[in-house]
Structure 1
Amino acid sequence: MTPPAPQHRHSILPLFLAVVLLLSAPFLVAADIVTVTVQAPVPSDEPQWKDGPAFTSAVLNSTNAYRARYNASAVTWNATLASFAGEYLARSDCRFAHSNGPYGENLAEGYANATAGVEGWGDEASRYNFDNPGFDHDTGHFTQLVWKNTTDVGCDRRLCGQSGWYLVCEYWPRGNVLGQFGTQVDRRVATGAAAAGRVGAGWRTAAAAAALQVAMWAAWYL
């Protein structure tokens, strides 16, 4: 008698385990991944911070550019003010707070260069209410920057670890004097083509008025 042929029983368990392992592989790998957040490097070698003349020029040029936009005369660099700023930075231990000294004062921290720091103050102009002039903590840097009576500025800087460069500027005469904002902070003046257009329009208006007056005199006497 011929023995029956052996029967092969195929178990689905190994196949099931293989599928489970395949699907869980991404999660097993992900569990071993550690995400590390690294702070952006501080630009400690930026010439506007490291080089004295470059720093002074950057602050003066950007300051006077903003002052010109708002009808304020250019300021000059003052060594006494710069020394005060440096002494305050030395004793502040990188604490970001005003010195409460005798001068007007602007602070900035974490900017890539000195020009960007001054621009940060100047950009507060977009939030200033020229129709209701006065002091506001959100725009106080801008109003001091373009204060018309201010004639002198002096600044210094210090690298404060991962916080970046700490910029302090002192101004004299000091700005942000209560009751004087209406006369000391002007609206932005027209520049370039817009200014030329206004001047041209004004000249044409004056010329037309003069021509009309001549015509009236001629009609009177003829």
Structure 2
Amino acid sequence: MDFDLFGKSLIVFISLLQLQLCCGQEAYQQKALDLHNQYRATHHSPALTSDNTLNSNAVKCAQWYADQQKIDHKCPYKNGTGENLSAGNGGNWSNDQWAELSTKMWYDEVKYYNYSNPGFSGKTGHFTQVVWKNSQRLGFGYVQKNGYTVGVALYSPPGNYQGQFPQNVLRP
């Protein structure tokens, strides 16, 4: 009887492990997705879905930037997606904290966005990508290396196309 219970427990454990490996979503990635969707709802944009390939590529990009100790939007793993980056030195951030801090920081650029003259600006490019109505899928990655923390959000399809701001960045 004990073996039977152990065997069933082992099967359940392996099944859960396979689910995690197949589906690949970590709690911090869900946190980033939830916050993105909260902000997007405010701007009448449909909810993003988590994408396993984008999550994997976002982690690869975060590692790539952490290895360089700088962020420059040149990650070879982003494959034509939109990209928001965050980085910082010092601190001991958990991946959940970094997902929340990064997403909030990107969204907070909303205060600089001019709905009367919509378009791209270096002050608002992170915000506009977060709420870009046509983007459908999100991946988020986080890496901490030698005191340098990097967060990467990848969006597909990408946003911030000139001439498409009025229909993709809506007023709250």
TM-score category of the 2 structures, normalised to the smaller one: 0.7 to 0.9
Query: What is aligned with 2:140?
Result: 155
Residue 166 of structure 1: which of 127, 150, 164 is its match? 150
Query: What is aligned with 2:102?
Result: 117
| Secondary structure class of the residue paired with 1:107 | strand
Max radius of gyration: which structure?
Answer: 1
Distance in 2 separating the partners of 1:141 and 1:160: 24
Total equivalences in the alignment: 136
Identity value in percent: 37
Query: What is aligned with 2:56?
Result: 83
Residue 53 of structure 1: which of 6, 26, 41 is its match? 26
Q: How far off its partner does 1:89 sit? A: 2.5
Q: How far off its partner does 1:123 sit? A: 0.5
Q: How far off its partner does 1:116 sit? A: 1.6
Distance in 2 separating the partners of 1:186 and 1:131: 11
1:63 alignment partner AA: H
Residue 116 of structure 2: which of 109, 122, 131 is its match? 131
Distance in 2 separating the partners of 1:89 and 1:57: 17
Distance in 1 separating the partners of 2:132 and 2:116: 17
| Secondary structure class of the residue paired with 1:72 | coil
| Secondary structure class of the residue paired with 2:147 | helix
TM-score when scaled to structure 2?
A: 0.74
1:178 alignment partner AA: Q
Residue 36 of structure 2: which of 46, 53, 63 is its match? 63
Q: How far off its partner does 1:84 sit? A: 1.5
| Secondary structure class of the residue paired with 2:100 | helix
- Mark the runs of 5 or more structure 1 residues left unpaired by the alignment: 1-51, 189-222
TM-score when scaled to structure 1?
A: 0.58
**RMSD after superposition:** 1.6
- Mark the runs of 5 or more structure 2 residues left unpaired by the alignment: 1-24
| Secondary structure class of the residue paired with 2:138 | strand
Question: Greater relative contact order (Cα 8 A, min sep 6): structure 1 or 2?
Answer: 2
Distance in 2 separating the partners of 1:63 and 1:160: 25
Superposition misfits of 4+ residues, deviation over 6 angstroms: none
2:32 alignment partner AA: V
Distance in 1 separating the partners of 2:48 and 2:119: 22
State whether residues 120 and 162 of structure 2, in contact with CA within 8 Å, keep that contact through their aligned partners in structure 1: yes
State whether residues 61 and 141 of structure 2, in contact with CA within 8 Å, keep that contact through their aligned partners in structure 1: no
| Secondary structure class of the residue paired with 1:157 | strand
